[in-house]
Structure 1
Amino acid sequence: MNHLSSQPGRSSRGSVLPVRKSVQNLAIASAVALLMASGVAQAQTAAPAESAMVKLIRGLIQSGTLNKDVGEALLAQAQTEAMAAQQAQRQVAAVAAAAPVAGTAAMRPEAGDVRVPYISQTVRDQIRDEVKGQVMAQARTEGWAAPNETPEWSKRIRIEGDMRLRNESRYYGRANDNMNIIDYAAINAGSGYDVNPNTASGLPPTLNTRQDRKNLWRVRARFGVLADISDTTTAGVRLATGSDDNPVSTTQTLGGGLNKKNIWLDQAWIANRPTDWLKITGGRFANPFVSSDMLFSNDLNFDGVAAQFDKKFSNDTLSMFGTLGIIPLEYSSDNFPKDQGDKMRSETKWLLGAQVGANWKLDSTNRLRGAVAYYSFQNINGKLSDPCRLYSGETTTCSTDWSRPAYMQKGNTMMLLRNIALNPANPANTPLPQYMGLASKFQLLDLNARWETKVLGDYGLRLDANYIRNLAYDEDEMFRRANGGILNNYDRTGVNARANFESGGNAYMVQATLGNPNPSLRGEWNVSAGYKYIEPDAMPDAYNDSSFHLGGTNARGYTLGGTYAFDKNTSLTGRWLSSKTIYSSPLAIDVMQLELNTRF
């Protein structure tokens, strides 16, 4: 805190005066302590010394430098000592006058001499410490005792952040399907797409599949503040960039006419540790589960409440960890349907997660981590609506419009949500504006393993593996739920029949990293290689890495990368991601990323 900063109505010189005055007060108080500690014996005359001492103490009391109680005690002590000195002087004079002895002339008091009782060193030290303590307490209160000292509250605040500058190029296969890769997210964000060819105004929106996008300059900046509220409670807030409010990326594309960039609330949480091995966090916080980016993007944060435990055993060679999470994904609108008087009941989409795992320190160079998790996505699949008569103009909504995903990437099997009644006066030309929802349910079993060792002397080697199975995947149930309205993931014959449907509920990935997994010091480095295989309905396509296959499922391919730290907490990274679809229409995408990363 700068105590010399200017204030309204004061000059910069005026703001220094309180500090100087306080320093002067401290000097005066120290003089009082030294004077009283040395005793009145060093004074030149009795009356003037007594009068000066009393006046000095009274002046310090009136100026506020001495506390009134302490000042009055010192004043009484000074007066008592003065009276004792006068009494001693009278006694000495009386003895000298009554019994003069030869040779005692040198000991006879002369004019101006004062004799006082002895004050021990202990008493003098006590008086000095009391005065000094009083003055220093006032100095700390007023903030001039140690002007460069950091305020106590600031010691409980920590700031952290990171920045990334990325050059990204996207290369699309020339044989990619140019017509059938539908942008379902764009349809759901609008007023629906008319699937009646007799009344449709055009083709549905599609994704780019053939035109390369080179040299996209992108940036990510994150800035967080962490506070230690107490020994057991902490809180944090973090802001981040982002092109939109999607949950899986905080990267902002540059350009756009040099317009200013968006800042979003990325995290806001409170955590408490009731015991050393348990932490409970609520709000919006980082991913509390041990997982890979095949399931959850590294930029993904969670809303809700999570409880995490971590317990060490066997002299730190074995530790157990686990997480329970209750994550609200989406709430239906309180005002749905907006054009009807009777509103529907509240609907909530949830993620309920449970995980348990262990870390083993096998020896000085080998560590093993294993975890098993179960993720139950509640109420996120699409639901076929009750019959709705949109042609009548009485409403523009159907009962299950809320079940379309709030956010999606691509790959999941989609179904039509609206059961639209035909206009009996003109059934062939009844507009059928449709929304799309997820055809499959999702109950995920997630197995995660990591082995860390040393090779070729002292080089670190990390091997990661992840397997995911959607236990709720059931093709027959999907077609029953959709009543035949399955839209995608058919084979390449172009026939959308049950026999031509292709999907699956499995996903896996493996990755090897040689070197330091997280280079932070100059000269540290790593290289990595991995492979991913993600069937269309192995997981919700909304939440995984947005770089591999540009996000989503129904993708397989490899990744190559390397990082070199050329300065403290500052590194260069190169990454190549190559992918193509497993089933259905061909879509091959290669992504190259060159990055400059730093953190603080």
Structure 2
Amino acid sequence: MLKNTPFTSGTKSSVNPKVMLAMSLLVGMSTNGNLAHADERESLEQLRATTSNLIELLVQEGVLNKDKAEAIVKKANQDAAKQVQQAKADKTLDGSSTLDEKSVRVQYVPEHIKKEMRAEIEKEVMTNLNYKAGERLGMPGWLDRISFYGDMRLRFENNAFSESNAPKDLLNGGIHNNRQSDIKNTTEDRNRFRVRGRLGADLKVNDWLSGGLRMTTGQLTSPVSPNQTEQVSEGKYSFALDRAYLKAQPRDWLSITGGRFSNPFFYTDMVFDPDLAFDGVATTFTPTISDSWSSFTTVGAFPIEDIESSDTNKAKSKWLYSLQTGIKWQSANKSTVKLALAYHDFSNVEGHANSLALPGAYDGTVPAFRQKGNNTFNINDVFGAGKEKYALASKFELVNLTGQVDLLTFDPVHVTVTGDYVQNIGFDANEIFKRTGTRYEKENEGYQVRLDVGSNSFNGPSSTEVKPNDWQVSLGYKRVEADAVLDGFNDSDFHLGGTDTKGWLLGANYGIDKNAWLSARYFSADSITGLPLAIDVLLLDFNAKF
């Protein structure tokens, strides 16, 4: 037996009055009789057929049960009969005879009004049917509060190394241990196929609380790369949770997010890799100043590495404390200008030397993950050769200025210019010398400029639809000195990640169909002051999202 499902989301179980009135009118208009005008008769016959089909659909879908539908039709017929009887009893104003008993006089309804009525009824019916889908099918209501999304990326990657590069042994400690890295190759070109797969769900808990979950491929030890290298010997790809958060929005201008979530700041990949997740809590304020001006401020605390300190473990937990404030202007044609100033304090990431009295006491100051470029020192220097452990020499307190101009003069083509400047004000050569016994040159600045022309659908949020023939081209230049940013968290593609690098980037995207596109990027980068290390990276991607 079909369930008599309420047509609206309220507590009443009757049909929406507006829809019922419209259906009654349509039934009444199409009840027996010969119409006074032939063209009106054809239109009303169409409405009568539409009404019958609509009522039948409501019964089939479970919005109305059969008895309720019959009652609606019966009432419409009764109303029509009363109108006929009333018409027989009335005389026209000019004394003419009463209506023929088989005729019904109907007020003329313009065609555009009929179309609007049909569209409104159809929209309301389908909206309510969709809302009640879970109940109609006997499925739990929470399914209506979850929306799934995902994407796949197939990549060909070419890494080209210069013949003049320093050997990897020199870069991995050796006589150049101030830039110690874990580089496995500096001379042999490499080609590989890679894949990235992501599957997520947006959760709506109630009007003010939402959340999200997302799974992704990638190495479990890397916070910046979700890529999985294709090889049969891999056995199975890793697929792990990289988003798990709740977001409260008690006001339109206020949101609070906690858990593991996407970067909450206005940023570029010079400071943070686009795939880097943030753990912790962030609060964002977005008050509107006027129709053209708005502001945004984000403050957050993010644990980097939890360390259980004790009498024998002197290392402390590592945190990132951040504050960013900015302003945005929007013109009448939707062109925008954004400018933001941020302060990022990476607390307790610098290394401390072990002593003979407490061997291993500061092992926790060694970074859990690095790429390359930051100045380092051996915290086990007192123990001699064979026991080397390298930690960061400098503290990291970043002041970051980011600006962007997005012109829509040639709408839908965007012309976007982005500039980014960062300085590590935590770098102090004298303080580093006291702590490490080594004096380092001050290399604590970085900047990037980039031009993007075309559609912004390729770098928009996951909900943005890529359309066939969408296109975008990009050109940029980047220079990041050794201790300008933390090398473990910035872009993992340019120079294969890290700092102490400068060079150019070229990019292009082209939509081949809905939500399917090709992209190509080329990076040509060299080291700045370290041992010679030139790396060119070519990325060819086929992307699809759903």
Flag whether TM exceeds 0.5 (same fold): yes
Tell me which amino acid in the other structure corresponds to 1:513.
D
Structure-1 separation of matches of 2:349 and 2:220: 22
Identical columns (%): 34
3-state DSSP class of the match of 2:287? Answer: strand
- Aligned match of 2:355: 386
The yes-or-no answer on 1:508 pairing with 2:452 is no
After superposition, residues 429-440 of structure 1 pair within 5 angstroms as: 433-440=387-394
Spell out, residue by residue over 1:53-85, the C-alpha distance to the aligned partner (whole angstroms, 9 max, x if none): xxxxxxxxxxxxxxxxxxxxxxxxxxxxxxxxx
Structure 1 residue 144, shift from structure 2 partner = 12
- Aligned match of 1:110: none
After superposition, residues 293-332 of structure 1 pair within 5 angstroms as: 293-315=269-291, 317-332=292-307
The yes-or-no answer on 1:369 pairing with 2:365 is no
Tell me which amino acid in the other structure corresponds to 2:330.
K
Query: Contact conserved, 1:242 with 1:249, CA < 8 A, in 2?
Result: yes
After superposition, residues 327-366 of structure 1 pair within 5 angstroms as: 327-333=302-308, 343-344=312-313, 347-364=316-333, 366=335
Structure-1 separation of matches of 2:376 and 2:187: 23
- Aligned match of 2:489: 543
The yes-or-no answer on 1:592 pairing with 2:541 is no
Residues 564 and 346 (structure 1 numbering): CA distance in 2 closer, same or farther, change over 3 Å?
Answer: same
3-state DSSP class of the match of 1:227? Answer: strand
Residues 302 and 183 (structure 1 numbering): CA distance in 2 closer, same or farther, change over 3 Å?
Answer: farther
Spell out, residue by residue over 1:336-374, the C-alpha distance to the aligned partner (whole angstroms, 9 max, x if none): 7xxxxx653672101000000111013425310110000
Residues 240 and 181 (structure 1 numbering): CA distance in 2 closer, same or farther, change over 3 Å?
Answer: farther
- Aligned match of 1:270: 246
The yes-or-no answer on 1:475 pairing with 2:424 is no
Q: Report how many residues are paired.
A: 420
- Aligned match of 2:184: 207
Query: Contact conserved, 1:304 with 1:325, CA < 8 A, in 2?
Result: yes
The one of 159, 166, 169 equivalent to 2:155 is 166
Query: Contact conserved, 1:445 with 1:470, CA < 8 A, in 2?
Result: yes
Residue segments in structure 1 that go unaligned for 5+ positions in a row: 4-22, 36-139, 185-192, 197-202, 337-341, 390-396, 422-429, 485-497
Q: Which runs of 4+ in 1 moved over 4 A?
A: 26-35, 143-151, 193-196, 203-206, 455-458
- Aligned match of 2:141: 152
Structure 1 residue 477, shift from structure 2 partner = 2.1
Which of 1 and 2 has greater Rg?
Answer: 1
The yes-or-no answer on 1:227 pairing with 2:203 is yes
Spell out, residue by residue over 1:160-217, the C-alpha distance to the aligned partner (whole angstroms, 9 max, x if none): 1111111000000010011554347xxxxxxxx9999xxxxxx996531110002x11
- Aligned match of 1:287: 263
Query: Contact conserved, 2:243 with 2:260, CA < 8 A, in 1?
Result: yes
Structure 1 residue 256, shift from structure 2 partner = 4.0
Spell out, residue by residue over 1:549-588, the C-alpha distance to the aligned partner (whole angstroms, 9 max, x if none): 0000000000000000111111100110000000021000
Query: Contact conserved, 2:222 with 2:369, CA < 8 A, in 1?
Result: yes
Query: Contact conserved, 1:349 with 1:377, CA < 8 A, in 2?
Result: yes
Spell out, residue by residue over 1:18-62, the C-alpha distance to the aligned partner (whole angstroms, 9 max, x if none): xxxxx9xx7799999999xxxxxxxxxxxxxxxxxxxxxxxxxxx
Structure-2 separation of matches of 1:459 and 1:524: 9
Residues 147 and 384 (structure 1 numbering): CA distance in 2 closer, same or farther, change over 3 Å?
Answer: same
The one of 209, 219, 223 equivalent to 1:243 is 219
* Mean CA deviation greater in 240-249 or 406-415: 240-249
Residues 165 and 144 (structure 1 numbering): CA distance in 2 closer, same or farther, change over 3 Å?
Answer: closer
RMSD: 3.3
Residues 325 and 148 (structure 1 numbering): CA distance in 2 closer, same or farther, change over 3 Å?
Answer: same
Residues 155 and 506 (structure 1 numbering): CA distance in 2 closer, same or farther, change over 3 Å?
Answer: same
- Aligned match of 2:86: none
- Aligned match of 1:416: 378
Structure 1 residue 332, shift from structure 2 partner = 1.6
Structure-1 separation of matches of 2:304 and 2:446: 22
Query: Contact conserved, 1:387 with 1:419, CA < 8 A, in 2?
Result: no
- Aligned match of 2:475: 529
3-state DSSP class of the match of 2:430? Answer: helix
Structure 1 residue 150, shift from structure 2 partner = 6.8
Residues 148 and 404 (structure 1 numbering): CA distance in 2 closer, same or farther, change over 3 Å?
Answer: same
Residues 268 and 181 (structure 1 numbering): CA distance in 2 closer, same or farther, change over 3 Å?
Answer: farther
Query: Contact conserved, 1:542 with 1:552, CA < 8 A, in 2?
Result: yes
The one of 161, 168, 177 equivalent to 2:166 is 177
Query: Contact conserved, 1:521 with 1:565, CA < 8 A, in 2?
Result: yes
Tell me which amino acid in the other structure corresponds to 1:443.
E
Query: Contact conserved, 1:468 with 1:508, CA < 8 A, in 2?
Result: yes
Structure 1 residue 419, shift from structure 2 partner = 5.3
3-state DSSP class of the match of 1:240? Answer: strand
Structure-2 separation of matches of 1:144 and 1:433: 65
Query: Contact conserved, 1:172 with 1:211, CA < 8 A, in 2?
Result: yes
The yes-or-no answer on 1:563 pairing with 2:509 is yes
Query: Contact conserved, 1:448 with 1:466, CA < 8 A, in 2?
Result: yes
Spell out, residue by residue over 1:241-298, the C-alpha distance to the aligned partner (whole angstroms, 9 max, x if none): 0033211011111114261100111110011112111110111000001100011000
3-state DSSP class of the match of 1:257? Answer: helix
Structure-2 separation of matches of 1:403 and 1:146: 55
* Mean CA deviation greater in 379-388 or 538-547: 379-388
Structure-1 separation of matches of 2:457 and 2:430: 45
Query: Contact conserved, 1:194 with 1:432, CA < 8 A, in 2?
Result: no
Query: Contact conserved, 1:388 with 1:398, CA < 8 A, in 2?
Result: no
Residues 463 and 31 (structure 1 numbering): CA distance in 2 closer, same or farther, change over 3 Å?
Answer: closer
Query: Contact conserved, 1:308 with 1:323, CA < 8 A, in 2?
Result: yes
Structure 1 residue 514, shift from structure 2 partner = 0.7
- Aligned match of 1:574: 520
Structure 1 residue 473, shift from structure 2 partner = 1.4
- Aligned match of 2:17: none
Structure-2 separation of matches of 1:303 and 1:252: 23
Query: Contact conserved, 2:342 with 2:400, CA < 8 A, in 1?
Result: yes
Tell me which amino acid in the other structure corresponds to 1:210.
T
The yes-or-no answer on 1:398 pairing with 2:360 is yes
3-state DSSP class of the match of 1:154? Answer: helix
After superposition, residues 56-205 of structure 1 pair within 5 angstroms as: 147-148=136-137, 152-183=141-172
Structure 1 residue 451, shift from structure 2 partner = 0.3
3-state DSSP class of the match of 2:225? Answer: coil
The yes-or-no answer on 1:518 pairing with 2:457 is yes
Query: Contact conserved, 1:513 with 1:527, CA < 8 A, in 2?
Result: yes
Structure-2 separation of matches of 1:346 and 1:557: 36
Query: Contact conserved, 2:181 with 2:373, CA < 8 A, in 1?
Result: no
Query: Contact conserved, 2:215 with 2:241, CA < 8 A, in 1?
Result: yes
- Aligned match of 1:68: none
Query: Contact conserved, 1:503 with 1:535, CA < 8 A, in 2?
Result: no
Structure-1 separation of matches of 2:302 and 2:175: 34
Tell me which amino acid in the other structure corresponds to 2:350.
N
Structure 1 residue 478, shift from structure 2 partner = 1.7
Spell out, residue by residue over 1:218-251, the C-alpha distance to the aligned partner (whole angstroms, 9 max, x if none): 0111111111101001121110000332110111
Query: Contact conserved, 1:286 with 1:301, CA < 8 A, in 2?
Result: yes
3-state DSSP class of the match of 1:293? Answer: coil
- Aligned match of 2:397: 443
